[in-house]
Chains A and B, each alone.
Chain A
């Protein structure tokens, strides 16, 4: 069963009615022309929020550890005094730790999007289902 709307308010009303009547979000496919916070809040009342934050957190922590580890380990591996500075110079390594926190945090977030959103979808690349600017509800009746 497919419902197509040009009007967001009508679409939201229908969606809420369907959920209240017992239609499970798992058997409902919702297609939107753009993101919308109202719709997101409505659907998340019936589903769980995105777990993507854990990808960001794990990536960021891994990056932070890697940055400090590389700097410290290479210092110990070949102990060379440069510029009269102390061998262990943790403040200097903060920059490396910080940059790798951001880098791996960002890349793992995108990996999370690809995994959770099941992207890229090769079959849809050339033969997409395009609904233009309509809001669509498709209910799987099987």
Chain B
């Protein structure tokens, strides 16, 4: 016997409105993964072209050796490691928005978490390339992992670089798992709405999900535990990345504030990138009803808060250099402010300290065009922050005989451009294959 019950009471009418709301939301969000328009193919072609430039540059470096890169003595870490830290930083906001805001039950998280998690996965995939590119002999990357070998050697577990291998690998794995598990119920909806080969593909990736109580019961548990595990992970990963520097006896690096400073910077840059991606996406896919200025204002507040923490860290770095009365540390910071790379330092200050202060004006926090424009200098500023930390500190060593200036070569710049192409290629494909908003979680809000 099958009974279909609807009715006329107040509760029933509101339930029916919720039902209609769910149906409409499905239609609106899944409309985004319809057949792409020509502008999508143009954007994809541009991104793939950038990947081509990056791949050609890398091929040139592999063929000729690491000498074609601008890194030299004393600046042995240059744009590659800058790019690595930049992309790891971008990756952090996804897990912050998704896991930490989930644990705090912040509802605006549901507007951004799907895109932010996708951004995390693609950014870690991008970041992971750079230590390998920097190795030179990229085909020996597996030496970083502990495995029994004929040399009877093991990796050095006391090295921050080995910690980094474990931290970034774990972060990539957990981010992919967290993202995919969150996706499964939405892929099941896609299976229902699509036809032909698409239905089969979504069916396979939805794992045969049917939405029974037992499935949801275990799903809720696993999602909660993954969020609880991912939250400390996100803090640990960028702390470990910061220790790549802080554990070394280099001026400008060897400081205890590096871990929280890096974590705050990562969240700041990640929020910036989420805004860069989601403001145009909202317009292109007509998602104005689901992504309101109120939601973006909350994100802007997070951006403002982390921007202030980053500004405080910049001030503290200078204060520590002055108060510790360490002549080398002091000279290093005078050099940062007034030396060969002062233009990079002041670009960073302008982008990361001055420009976010405009967010104290409420109307600007709610102006999405302004937020999008602001997010671009924030991304640029955060790239320069890593460049300043890495390059300026190495350029002026203890010994004046060892001072040297670093200029990135076209190979390094080509690979950097390629990394942006790589990231945006993945992101563009994501927008056309996976619902960009978490439909299931938004449905829950309608009840």
Q: Mark B202-246, 1 if CB is under 8 A from A, else 0.
A: 011011111111111111111001100110110010001000000
CB < 8 Å neighbour of B208 from A93, A96, A107, A121: A121
Q: Contact between B444 and A106 (Cβ–Cβ < 8 Å)?
A: no
**On chain A, which size bracket covers the interface?**
35 or more
Within 85-112 of A, Cβ neighbours of B (below 8 Å) are at: 85, 89, 92-93, 95-96, 98-100, 102-103, 105-107, 109-110, 112
Which A residues touch B39, using CB under 8 A?
none
**Which segment, of B46-54, B148-156, B353-361, B428-436, faces chain A?**
B148-156
Query: Which one of B23, B156, B221 has the highest number of Cβ atoms from chain A below 10 Å of its Cβ?
Result: B221
Which B residues touch A50, using CB under 8 A?
217-218, 220-221
- Give the docked Cα–Cα distance between A121 and B188 (Å): 12
- Give the docked Cα–Cα distance between A59 and B6 (Å): 46
Q: Contact between A102 and B174 (Cβ–Cβ < 8 Å)?
A: yes
Q: Mark B14-41, 1 if CB is under 8 A from A, else 0.
A: 0110110011001000000000000000
Which B residues touch A32, using CB under 8 A?
211-213, 216
Q: Mark B161-175, 1 if CB is under 8 A from A, else 0.
A: 011001101100110
Q: Contact between B22 and A133 (Cβ–Cβ < 8 Å)?
A: yes
Q: Mark B423-447, 1 if CB is under 8 A from A, else 0.
A: 0000000000000000011011001
* Distance in Å: Cβ of A70 to nearest Cβ of chain B: 6
Nearest CB in chain B to that of A111: its residue: B222
CB < 8 Å neighbour of B181 from A14, A56, A110: A110
Instruction: Decide yes or no whether A131 CB sits under 8 A from chain B.
Output: yes
Which A residues touch B174, using CB under 8 A?
102-103, 106
Given contact pairs A8-B18, A113-B222, A128 touches B215 in the complex (Cβ within 8 A): no
Q: Contact between B6 and A7 (Cβ–Cβ < 8 Å)?
A: yes
Which B residues touch A39, using CB under 8 A?
213
Given contact pairs A30-B213, A125-B203, A7 touches B218 in the complex (Cβ within 8 A): no
Which A residues touch B4, using CB under 8 A?
4
Which B residues touch A105, using CB under 8 A?
225, 229
Q: Mark A58-86, 1 if CB is under 8 A from B, else 0.
A: 00100000010011001101101011010
Which A residues touch B233, using CB under 8 A?
99, 102
Which A residues touch B225, using CB under 8 A?
52-53, 56, 105-106, 109
Q: Contact between A6 and B19 (Cβ–Cβ < 8 Å)?
A: yes
Q: Contact between B6 and A77 (Cβ–Cβ < 8 Å)?
A: no
- Give the docked Cα–Cα distance between A23 and B222 (Å): 28
* Distance in Å: Cβ of B219 to nearest Cβ of chain A: 6
* Distance in Å: Cβ of A102 to nearest Cβ of chain B: 5
Q: Contact between B173 and A120 (Cβ–Cβ < 8 Å)?
A: no
Q: Contact between A100 and B170 (Cβ–Cβ < 8 Å)?
A: yes
Instruction: Decide yes or no whether B78 CB sits under 8 A from chain A.
Output: no
* Distance in Å: Cβ of A47 to nearest Cβ of chain B: 8
Which A residues touch B216, using CB under 8 A?
32, 34-36, 40
Given contact pairs A70-B146, A128-B192, A117 touches B240 in the complex (Cβ within 8 A): no
Instruction: Decide yes or no whether B327 CB sits under 8 A from chain A.
Output: no
Instruction: Decide yes or no whether B200 CB sits under 8 A from chain A.
Output: yes
Which A residues touch B447, using CB under 8 A?
8, 34, 36
Which B residues touch A1, using CB under 8 A?
1
CB < 8 Å neighbour of A40 from B19, B200, B220, B240: B220
Q: Contact between B22 and A33 (Cβ–Cβ < 8 Å)?
A: yes
Given contact pairs A6-B15, A7-B11, A99-B236, A35 touches B146 in the complex (Cβ within 8 A): no
CB < 8 Å neighbour of B157 from A3, A75, A106, A134: A75
Which A residues touch B22, using CB under 8 A?
33, 133
Given contact pairs A9-B12, A31-B212, A113-B222, A133 touches B23 in the complex (Cβ within 8 A): yes
Q: Contact between A119 and B157 (Cβ–Cβ < 8 Å)?
A: no
- Give the docked Cα–Cα distance between A56 and B7 (Å): 43
Q: Contact between B177 and A106 (Cβ–Cβ < 8 Å)?
A: yes
Which A residues touch B236, using CB under 8 A?
95, 98-99, 102
Instruction: Decide yes or no whether B191 CB sits under 8 A from chain A.
Output: yes
Instruction: Decide yes or no whether B324 CB sits under 8 A from chain A.
Output: no
Instruction: Decide yes or no whether B158 CB sits under 8 A from chain A.
Output: yes
CB < 8 Å neighbour of A52 from B16, B199, B222: B222
Q: Contact between A110 and B19 (Cβ–Cβ < 8 Å)?
A: no
Q: Contact between A130 and B440 (Cβ–Cβ < 8 Å)?
A: no
Given contact pairs A82-B156, A99-B167, A119-B215, A33 touches B443 in the complex (Cβ within 8 A): yes
Instruction: Decide yes or no whether A21 CB sits under 8 A from chain B.
Output: no
3 A-B pairs with least C-beta separation: A7-B15, A121-B208, A124-B208
Which residues of A are in contact with B by a Cβ distance under 8 Å?
Answer: 1-10, 14, 29-36, 39-40, 43-44, 49-50, 52-53, 56, 60, 67, 70-71, 74-75, 77-78, 80, 82-83, 85, 89, 92-93, 95-96, 98-100, 102-103, 105-107, 109-110, 112-113, 116-126, 128-134
Which residues of B are in contact with A by a Cβ distance under 8 Å?
Answer: 1-7, 11-12, 15-16, 18-19, 22-23, 26, 146, 152-159, 162-163, 166-167, 169-170, 173-174, 177-178, 181, 185, 188, 191-192, 199-200, 203-204, 206-222, 225-226, 229-230, 232-233, 236, 240, 440-441, 443-444, 447
Known: A9-B15, A33-B440. 8 other contacts (CB 8 A): A3-B3, A34-B216, A34-B444, A78-B154, A95-B240, A99-B170, A102-B229, A103-B173
14 A-B pairs (CB sep. < 8 Å): A6-B16, A7-B15, A9-B11, A53-B221, A53-B225, A110-B181, A113-B181, A113-B219, A113-B221, A113-B222, A119-B207, A124-B209, A128-B191, A128-B210
